[in-house]
Amino acid sequence: MGNRNNKRSSLNLEKEHIYFVGIGGIGMSAIARYYNQLGKKVAGYDRTITDLTKRLQAEGIAVTNFDESDSIPFPYRDQEKTLVVYTPAISKNNSILNYFKEEGFTCLKRAEVLGLISKSLKTIAVAGTHGKTTVSTMITFLLKDAGIKVNGFLGGISRDFGTNLLLDSEAEYMVTEADEYDRSFLQLQPFYSVITSIDADHLDIYADEDDIVSTYKAFGNKTDKEGTLYAKPETFDAFGLLNEFNKKTYGINNQAWICSSNLSVQDGNLIFDLTVNGEKYEGFKCGLPGIHNVENAIAAIAIALELGVEIEQIKKSLAKFNGVKRRFDVHLKNENIVYIDDYAHHPNEIKSLVASVRELYPTKKITAIFQPHLYSRTKDFGVEFGKELSKVDDLILLDLYPAREEPIEGIDSRWLGKQVDKENVHVCNKGLLMNVLKSKEVELLLTIGAGDIDTMVEPIIAHYE
């Protein structure tokens, strides 16, 4: 599996105290939980207190939302005993991270730590602009349900497991999402790799689409020479020459090594047949909406087959897989209203979401609440966002969620509203949202976005129940 030794960094992981800057992120929180369960002293900072950070606190992890170095607990001020882990999404002006760097603490990016954690396991890494959270969670579920011991560092809260972290002291495999932001996934050393999709995104990091493709190719080329890379045929076409490892294609209704056919909808479930290397198996059921989730399922099935799971076992497991929170999360479904919450934050994700909703509820009026995420993404894809958001019947835009970014002049939710081919797009802040909703006749409601729009889920449920 190649040389994976890094003595300096491995010694850093042995430190007694670990402080996370940006602990509320889904990937960061999984690593924080990992070390907490190993018995390390764990604390961290995040800009907002959320349900997730409250759960971390309940598990014994000290979390603060004050961006002041004075808020760092005293034990974590010991340079010899403390490792600092940070997310590249944190602001460069963050006082806590700057304190640790100025004082000479060892500071490692989340991806580097994840890479070090994985070095003793066969890593199954799932990359892609869309679908990686669902695929990685689905792989973990299929393996665990088949009795395979596996660690899972997931990019969302699994509905089946109720967490974003699964640990097994006897695990041979580790499943993780491979994040392309800041080229983080190049820190991983995958044995098996999946690339679900490559679309333009994070153009604050990448020069252009060619830069994105070449970086994904570099990730693919890190696959172990005895392992396998799964991707769609067009992805391999874009990559050209790759290193020596197994290369297998997957997809829907094509000539891929593993692919689906005879797709139909029965009782709200997607039913399909599966062909693996020319051999056909019938009657697979995917309870998640949208053709894109059948494609996600095929990628997950491919990895389960690689690890020796029997096809009938996979069929049984897939039929009961419940998905990931904030991925087509149906909170209310009655004769008065359907309410769905989704993490979609890229135009293509919104396109898939709205198409899935139209497929399931063709006669209902769709009211969507969208919170744009990042100034740069909003600016880069304003026209595309406008096109996809125009497909809903009634649109509310929340104020833009900046995350790590400083404002870009002229780019905000009002600007985005002008890109939408629709009259009366309502723009408001979260504080006014419930008043706006009360003024509307709502049949099917979507909340969409990757910022903190999820904090509105409970108030919305309470209003309509």
pLDDT at 424: 87
329-464, what's its fold? Protein-Tyrosine Phosphatase; Chain A (3.90.190)
CATH number of 7-108: 3.40.50.720
pLDDT at 12: 61
* pLDDT tens digits, one per residue of 94-114: 999 999 999 999 999 998 999
The CATH classification of domain 121-320, taken from the options 3.90.1150.200, 3.30.930.10, 3.40.50.170, 3.40.1190.10: 3.40.1190.10
Q: Which residues of 97-132 are buried (b: 16+ CB within 10 A; e: fewer)?
A: bebbeeeebbbbebbbbbbbbbbebbbbbbbbbbbb
What's the pLDDT band for 465 if we cut at 50, 70, 90? confident
More confident residue, 85 or 182: 85
DSSP line for 130-150: SSHHHHHHHHHHHHHHTT--E
Domain with CATH 3.40.1190.10 in the chain: 121-320
pLDDT at 423: 87
Mean pLDDT of all residues belonging to the chain:
92
Mean pLDDT of the 57-78 span: 95
Residues 6 or more apart whose Cβ sits within 8 Å of residue 409: none
Mean pLDDT of the 5-27 span: 76
* pLDDT tens digits, one per residue of 388-422: 999 999 999 999 999 878 899 999 999 999 999 99
pLDDT at 8: 40
* pLDDT tens digits, one per residue of 193-217: 999 999 866 556 777 889 999 999 9
Domain with CATH 3.40.50.720 in the chain: 7-108
Enumerate the β-bridge partners of residue 279: 276
pLDDT at 7: 40
Percent of the chain with pLDDT over 90: 80
* pLDDT tens digits, one per residue of 414-463: 999 999 999 889 999 999 999 999 999 999 999 999 989 999 999 999 99
pLDDT(237) > 60 = yes
What's the pLDDT band for 190 if we cut at 50, 70, 90? very high
pLDDT(248) > 70 = yes
pLDDT at 254: 77
- Calpha distance 173→192 (Å, rounded): 10
pLDDT at 6: 42
Domain with CATH 3.90.190.20 in the chain: 329-464
- Calpha distance 7→5 (Å, rounded): 6
pLDDT at 89: 81
Mean pLDDT of the 254-273 span: 90
- Calpha distance 152→164 (Å, rounded): 7
In this structure, what DSSP letter does residue 17 have? E
Place of tokens 């898939």: 352
* pLDDT tens digits, one per residue of 119-154: 889 999 999 988 999 999 999 999 999 999 999 999
